[in-house]
Structure 1
Amino acid sequence: MEASSAVGRRKFLPSRNKGAMHLLLSLGVFWLLPLALALEEDSPLGCVPRKTVPHHKVNARVFHEKGVFNYSTMLLREDLALLMLGAREAVYALDLNDISKKLASVKWGVTQQQKAECENKGKDPERECKNYIRTLHKMEDNRMYVCGTNAFDPECDYMSYADGKLTLENKGEDGKGKCPFDPFQRYASIMVDNDLYSATSINFLGSEPILTRSSPVSIRTEFKTSWLNEPSFVSMAQMPESEENEEGDDDKVYLFFSERAVESDCLNKLVVSRVARVCKGDLGGQRTLQKKWTSFLKARIDCPVLESQLPYVIQDTYLWCDPQRPWKNCLFYAIFTPQSHTSDLSAVCAYRVSDISREFAEGKYKTPVTVETSFVKWVMYSGDVPSPRPGACINNEARKAGITQTLDLPDQTLQFIKDRPLMDQAIQPIGEKPVLVRRGATFTRIVVNQMQAADGEKYHVMFIGTEEGTMLKAANYDGEMFIIEETQLFQTPEPIKILKFSNVTGQLYAGSHHGAAQIPLANCERSSSCMDCVLTRDPYCGWDRAVGKCVALSNSQRELIQSVKEGDASLCPDADPVKPMNRSIWPGGNQKLSCSSPSNLAKTLWERDHHPLTPSAHFQILQDGLLILNASDSDGGRYRCLSVERSKTEDYTTTVAEYQLTVGPAGSGKGGHTLFPQAQTDGPSVAGLQAVVGLLVVSLLVLLAWNFYKGHLPLPCKCGKKSSKQAQEAHEDGVVNSTVQHQEAQRPAVAEEKPLVLGIDNGSSHNNHTRGEAVCGAVGEGSDAPSVNLPTLQYIDDESEI
């Protein structure tokens, strides 16, 4: 309304005032532009991981089997020291301590008839008409309940592990309502006291979503859009709310999902995030809501991100509880992603279980109101609320009124909850803001672990999987978002589909399309110095002076140097001096001095003979070193590479590399690292080369003309020209490939110090691919006319080639 009013007022402004306003707006843009750029640079939304660990340095234990895909279902059997891994048409029992060791497996495929029937229904026989294992739960008798999509005909079975063998009982229970038909449709399930709670679609088309409990009495949601409206299910969790409860309340099962908002006034499909809950003892109603939930309530759950206009959509949750404290202190951590393609932010928000429970127990309801005979608007219900409270579990107050089970609830209460399952107020996160917001790869899964640091405080460390197969390790220190590291779990950049944590082994387990990986919570050995160890600000790691190493706090009994909140490395002992490396170069040659920064948050500076080196055409400071072009006698001396990193306390400077460069004839350097003279860009050598090339071209033309005249070669026609062009392109491709291979061989391996590229990432942010494409584009351009490729002048990228 304000915007439209402003537009209306602007129509009546005199033209002179309009011109003045446009001038002021233009000046305002120029004044605000530097401020906006400064805010963008200092914005925490571009949170950079301090370290980036490539796949070959992760040292993960990996499992995959040839021909088997979609490792997306996991069950931790810590009682058997097993990781049960469900994939496409297979279930594996892996060693929990080393998942690369397969202890047992069982195949569960589909028959040719099932595959044919699935194909006849219009599904892809090789992609969809398989049996994807989607449900895997432990039962009280130590057996496991497993369900698969079974070529769009869900089926469940019982499975046991004994004497090193995994066995299916082949009971073939109907899986409708327990497991999705579509292997790629989101679903959620949980086993509570041998009762399976599942949220999925009950029909082949996926158009009838339900939240159901399969036993002892089958209970489900209503087929009404006010209950579930095109939902995408995320996760489920049980809360033991009956423990030490003065009101005699029941345990709850929580469901997180997103759906199209029925309360939205927008014409388009606005998607919102929801949390719903049902009571464990719900048996349905006697007349109204027969075999339907009488306790189903849902509320909107928000995660406010600064620049978002549309609400962010929930993707995964993790329930964290302190075993020494009551359930009210439990937290739900949830990851959110945008529902539009205009943003590349992902966020993590944390919610108190007590806040969610209070909204359902005391909050107002929304009610539908018909407007203009056709449009339904949802508003806050302000009328009388029947007793017992609609949606509430059976508690002491209800029992006093003679209501001992949901079958005794009056129809007035049941009809109210049937029409109004939606709460009015949205659930807000702790602090009403995210604990982490980051640009880049979309978040997919989250696990949270608590660690007591050397300062005695306990910190929640988040492990977040992304669509690019990386895992972020992050924390929030008093409102400061800090990403400790980002590791590439899988060699192929593919989404992490599941993430689990074992308290017994202290290991993380991740699953993707092509395999599963296992990594520890921390790898402190990556930090080789005290300063690097402290500036990492990892609660799991500290510097041990006695052994001179960065070690895990859990493995050391000594007092370690650690500063999680501040990153204060002033207590670190002086580092050992860096031993200079000898390098030598011919006059006029090029030389690269390598230097890889230990942190993505650090700036690299160069000194020559203890004086700062200014970048120029002669001295080019690269991301991983210093390039000296067309060296002269005055370029000799002592070169030092410094890494300067800013923490919350001060700037810390460390020497990364040091070189003694000698300019002289070949072999004069002690280390023998000499670059041979480069081709000059002017002088008689180039003129002579040009003359020789010109003579060769003339000779080639004369030879071709003589052969055409004698008839030894046919005259060029369209097809012949095409063949010639193809041959030329093949030749150029060969040149390109050899050039790229040569450059890749020369490029030094970048370890975990490779900085993370921020901003919108569409999967093309890898520098090696970008450079390769640039080379191909440059060489591939050409015409049909004969051309001569002169040898390009290249400096040697790595002195180890000499």
Structure 2
Amino acid sequence: TAVLSRKLQLSYLFAGLYNDYWGRDAAVLRTMGRMPHIRTEPDDERLLKEPKFVGSYMIPDNEDREDNKVYFFFTEKALEAETGTHAIYARVGRVCANDMGGQRMLVNKWSTFLKTRLICSVPGMNGIDTHFDELEDVFLLQTRDNKNPVIFGLFNTTSNIFRGYAICVYHIASIRAAFNGPYAHKEGPEYHWSLYEGKVPYPRPGSCASKVNGGLYGTTKDYPDEAVRFARSHPLMYQSIKPVHKRPILVKTDGKYNLKQIAVDRVEAEDGQYDVLFIGTDNGIVLKVITIYNQDTESMEEVILEEMQVFKCVLHFLQQQLYIGSESAVAQVKFHQCDMYGTACADCCLARDPYCAWDGISCSRYYPTGIRFRRQDVRHGNAAQQCFGQQFIEALAKTEELVVYGIEYNSTLLECTPRTLQAKVIWFMQRAHEARKEETDDRIIKMDLGLLFLRLHRLDAGTYFCQTVEHSIVHTVRKIMLEVVEEGRVDEMFNKDYEEDIPHRMPCPAQSSIPQGSKPWYKEFLQLIGYSNFQRVEEYCEKVWCTDKRRKKLKMSPSKWKYANPQEKKARIRPEHYRLPRNVVDS
């Protein structure tokens, strides 16, 4: 990881890396420019012990450029951990950008290097916190004041018991307070780490040679030996850095994703300011998330806005676009895709996307300076209040109706996905010739994409209602009429086709070639279901079987619709009766 600094039109490169081929010599160094090359002292485990560098930034403390500091974020083995010799801690390291090293000791070595622990943990009921100690990624969110950015850290667990991820937010003021606080020190008969309460030399170890610090020393080479020696023996600060609200803003322990990278955009909404998190996973999915802090309950609410499938990625922002890069390609993704939330005011408000609002016509990009009244409620998602008088009832009353046909003993999927990821999906069914609705039974698998019947039965025929529940608003999204075709009737139909021995029979012959008084064979299929649904089934068959593409394909291979003999028919059909979906077999 590296950061590039410009001073007097000269460039300086600050980097944290391994300085050898075998990956043993870890170093924080400065190269380029007129100042001497400088690095951490090699083979000193008090400074760095098998670190994994993640990110680095130059963050000014004030208007004095001589007081600029560079911060390094990394993970390393912790010497001060008393619970075990292999404990891993997340760290923040800091050096002065104008550090010249010492005069008689630490020559061409950092004389201002300090570090402290970066904590991201979930408070426990018994006072024992669950720590996320391995830093995966870090993102610096710039604000209007470049001296006070907001830092987002993505952490992983080092536990052998469970796998989890957390995102914590830090203010730079907390980081500065830790570096300006007491130093850590080993003392006592067992050399436990404790607070250093002795005399601290002047100038304060870790401070820069600048006017802000008195201006008595032109460079660090002029520092007294006592100050340089103290900095060398006390690189660790005693106070750790705790996140905002003293807890993560997001915790993921479901094992669904391995989170690897994070980027953040701050956006103004109708009801306040929100930080939108774009989280990259190792399988090419980008999560678009916002989190809302409830001050009364001291808890965080997670709202997943989108799950975008891209590829293995590196996240970067530029002009309201998210650029996602891999080793072989770059993809451009918009921050906002408001049209995906539908054309109703209720759907737009329930999405709770700070980029989007209802403008009276459609769900579109929200602009805080717009002159039109916009309807949006990111914090609560109260669509009933926001959309009152905006065809709210009519929008919820719209239900898509579908007819689905399944063969007995085969697998069938009834598809239904909500528009927002926060909605809970509930299925109800009304069996044929029954008036009451009931919840689906345990034999049917509820999946993200809908209801999966592993083996369809005759009693499964009926009407299925897919309802979404979100913020006490119930919306029937789909009404699916499932017709089950009996296995024996299908066999009879094919058997009849064989006995009549009509050559090259097609399921959908061209209408012009049909002799007057005859009918296409697929219309005989209507007898399997009943003449009450004649028109509906005919339309369905026309749509599925009678396209030009399908007709051409069937003309090329008529044998697909004809068996050579009854034994071949049985050999081909019977094994498919009990076939499970591939994903079920593999699992």
TM-score using structure 2 length: 0.73
Given that residues 642 and 653 in structure 1 are in contact (C-alpha distance below 8 angstroms), is that contact kept between their aligned partners in structure 2? no
Would you say 1:335 and 2:160 are equivalent positions? no
Unaligned runs of 5+ in 1: 1-186, 676-691, 694-730, 745-767, 775-802
State the partner residue of 1:286: 103
Q: Which AA in structure 1 matches 2:98?
A: G
Aligned to 2:303: 483
Q: Is the partner of 1:287 in helix, strand or coil?
A: coil
**Secondary structure at the counterpart of residue 339 of structure 1:** coil
What is the Cα deviation at residue 645 of structure 1? 1.8
Q: 1:265 aligns to what?
A: 82
Q: Does 1:237 align with 2:50?
A: no
Residue 653 (str. 1) matches residue 474 (str. 2): yes
Q: Structure 1, residues 550-601: CA drift from partner, whole Å, max 9, x if none?
A: 2121497532321101011103322153354456899999987543343443
Q: Counterpart of 1:235 in 2: which secondary structure? A: strand
State the partner residue of 2:489. Answer: none
Partner of 1:552: 365
What is the DSSP-based 3-state SS (H/G/I as helix, E as strand, rest coil) of the residue aligned with 1:476?
Answer: strand
| In structure 2, distance between residues paired with 1:211 and 1:431 | 31
Query: Structure 1 residues 612 and 626 mapped into 2: Cα distance closer, same or farther (>3 Å)?
Result: farther
Per-residue CA deviations over 1:66-113 (Å, capped at 9, x if unaligned) read xxxxxxxxxxxxxxxxxxxxxxxxxxxxxxxxxxxxxxxxxxxxxxxx
TM-aligned CA deviation for residue 411 of structure 1: 0.6
CA contact (8 A) 1:640 1:655 kept: no
Offset of residue 510 of structure 1? 2.0
The within-5 A match list for 1:676-715 is none
- CA-CA distance at 1:450 after TM superposition: 0.5
What amino acid sits opposite 2:182 in the alignment? K
Alpha-carbon distance between aligned partners in 1 of 2:232 and 2:316, rounded to the nearest angstrom: 36
Deviation at 1:345, TM superposition (A): 1.2
How many equivalent pairs are there?
484
Work out which of the residue numbers 348, 357, 365 in structure 2 matches 1:533: 348
For residue 398 of structure 2, what is the aligned residue in structure 1? 577
Q: Name the CA distance, whole Å, in 2 between partners of 1:589 and 1:263.
A: 62
Counterpart amino acid of residue 67 in structure 2: D
Match of 1:442 in 2: 258
Helix, strand or coil: the match of 1:199?
strand
Q: CA deviation at 1:544?
A: 2.9
1:365 to 161, 166, 183: 183
Amino acid at match of 2:307: T
Pairing of 1:455-466 with structure 2 (within 5 A): 455=271, 457-466=272-281
2:420 corresponds to 1:605: no
1:268-310 CA distances to partner (integer Å, 9 max, x unpaired)? 3111011011112211122122111121111111001357655
* Structure 1 residue matching 2:584: 3-state secondary structure: helix
Equivalent in the alignment of 1:452: 268
Aligned to 1:143: none
Q: 2:481 and 2:94 mapped to 1: Cα distance?
A: 69
Query: Counterpart in 1 of 2:376?
Result: 562
Return closer, same or farther for 1:314/1:544 CA change in 2, 3 Å cut-off.
Answer: same
| CA contact 1:470–1:486 (8 Å) conserved in 2 | no
Residue 370 of structure 1 deviates from its aligned partner by 7.4
Q: 3-state DSSP class of the match of 1:417?
A: helix
Quick one: distance in 2 between partners of 1:444 and 1:378? 33
Q: Name the CA shift for 1:282/1:598 in 2 (closer, same or farther; >3 Å).
A: same
Aligned to 2:518: none
CA contact (8 A) 1:239 1:251 kept: yes
Over residues 363-410 of structure 1, what are the superposed CA-to-partner deviations in whole Å (9 max), with x where a residue is unaligned? 1111234746xxx5432211111111111112446545x322212111
Task: State the distance in 1 between where 2:404 and 2:309 align.
Answer: 37
Question: CA 1:288–1:642 in structure 2 vs 1: closer, same or farther (change >3 Å)?
Answer: same
Which residue identity is paired with 1:533?
C
Aligned equivalent of 1:129:
none
Seen in structure 2, the aligned counterparts of structure 1 residues 506 and 611 have a Cα distance that, compared at 3 Å, is: same
After superposition, the Cα gap between the structure-2 partners of 1:579 and 1:228, relative to the gap in structure 1 and judged at 3 Å, is closer
1:205-224 mapped onto 2 (5 Å cutoff): 205-214=22-31, 215-216=33-34, 217-223=36-42, 224=44
Partner secondary structure for residue 477 of structure 2: strand
Q: Which residue does 2:537 correspond to in 1?
A: 672
Q: Distance in 1 between matches of 2:245 and 2:228?
A: 36
Q: Is the 8 A contact 1:449 1:462 kept in 2?
A: yes
Give 1:660 shift. 5.7
Residue 426 of structure 1 corresponds to 240
**What is the percentage of aligned positions where both structures have the same residue?**
28
Contact 1:508–1:520 (CA<8 Å) still a contact in 2?
A: yes
Residues 1:512 and 2:332 aligned together = no
Mark the CA change 1:739 to 1:553 in structure 2 (over 3 Å): closer, same or farther. Answer: farther
What is the aligned partner in structure 2 of residue 315 from structure 1? 136
Check whether the contact 1:469–1:490 (CA below 8 A) recurs between aligned residues: yes
SS where residue 665 of structure 1 aligns?
Answer: helix
* Map of 2:523 onto structure 1: none
Report the CA distance between 1:313 and its aligned residue: 1.1
Shift of 1:477: 1.1
Structure 2 unaligned segments of length 5 or more: list them. Answer: 295-299, 485-525, 542-565
The answer to whether structure 1 residue 643 and structure 2 residue 464 are counterparts is no
User: Which structure is richer in relative contact order (CA contacts within 8 A, separation 6 or more)?
Assistant: 1
